[in-house]
A and B are shown apart, each in its own frame.
Chain A
Amino acid sequence: SQQGEEDPQALSIQEGENATMNCSYKTSINNLQWYRQNSGRGLVHLILIRSNEREKHSGRLRVTLDTSKKSSSLLITASRAADTASYFCATGPNNAGNMLTFGGGTRLMVKP
């Protein structure tokens, strides 16, 4: 079954606005990762946040993790047209030998 589920499924904003995407999951995790996928391309790793971390930043990206609510959010500040892509969360389980599980993604469109 799907571990991570993103919300919303699609998001359309104007350039310069902030974009927030959410991810919820069901079982305990070791880490949560966010990836970006441009149309026709592979996934690109953005950020990994471990279960004992609450917030992490990378450039215009801010990721939060709330393990009590089993949820994470990805905030992109001052969005650009080039941020248009699909964004996926992936959960790394606590059990050794188990794999990353990806959600269905949020399609973000940033209008110039």
Chain B
Amino acid sequence: ETGVTQTPRHLVMGMTNKKSLKCEQHLGHNAMYWYKQSAKKPLELMFVYSLEERVENNSVPSRFSPECPNSSHLFLHLHTLQPEDSALYLCASSQGRRVTGNQPQHFGDGTRLSIL
């Protein structure tokens, strides 16, 4: 039990499909994050939510749309993706009411996304 659960673990989709990734944390944390991990590249922060409000968006293309309905759940809605979007998408959470880089982050095991 990692405390952060992501579903599905694997997803294959065509460029015209619409799908959603789900993340749930059972740790009572206030902040949740979406990261993209591509081969041979550092972890890229995509979105950050604190107490359900988005606090950071690192210029991610609009084909990625996040949703945070409450502090335990985070979604990433996908539509019209490109082959270069194939990657491991990781969700993380951390404590604290303010989002900073000063807390350990707890990660899920990710969704391996492949775009055909």
A positions within 8 Å CB-CB of B:
2, 30-31, 33, 35, 40-45, 48, 88, 90-93, 96-105
User: Is B97 interfacial (CB 8 A cutoff)?
Assistant: no
Interface size bracket, B side: 20 to 34
- Tell me the bound Cα distance from A2 to B42 in angstroms: 8
Number of residue pairs spanning A and B whose beta carbons lie under 8 angstroms apart: 65
Task: State whether A104 and B42 are in contact (beta carbons under 8 Å apart), knowing that A42-B4, A92-B102, A97-B100 are contacts in the complex.
Answer: yes
User: Is B113 interfacial (CB 8 A cutoff)?
Assistant: no
10 contacts between A and B (CB under 8 A): A41-B109, A42-B92, A48-B104, A92-B102, A93-B101, A96-B100, A97-B55, A97-B100, A99-B100, A100-B105
- Tell me the bound Cα distance from A104 to B41 in angstroms: 6
A101→B101 contact, CB < 8 A: yes
User: Is B73 interfacial (CB 8 A cutoff)?
Assistant: no
A92 CB contact (under 8 Å) in B56, B101, B108? B101
- Chain B residues closer than 8 Å to A45, beta-carbon distance: 104-106
B positions within 8 Å CB-CB of A:
2, 4, 6, 33, 40-43, 45, 48, 55-56, 90, 92, 98-102, 104-110, 112
B100 CB contact (under 8 Å) in A92, A101, A104? A92
A42 CB contact (under 8 Å) in B2, B42, B99? B2
A42→B102 contact, CB < 8 A: no
CB distance from B101 to the nearest CB of A (A): 3
Task: State whether A88 and B43 are in contact (beta carbons under 8 Å apart), knowing that A42-B90, A45-B104 are contacts in the complex.
Answer: yes
CB distance from B53 to the nearest CB of A (A): 13
- Chain B residues closer than 8 Å to A90, beta-carbon distance: 101
CB distance from B109 to the nearest CB of A (A): 5
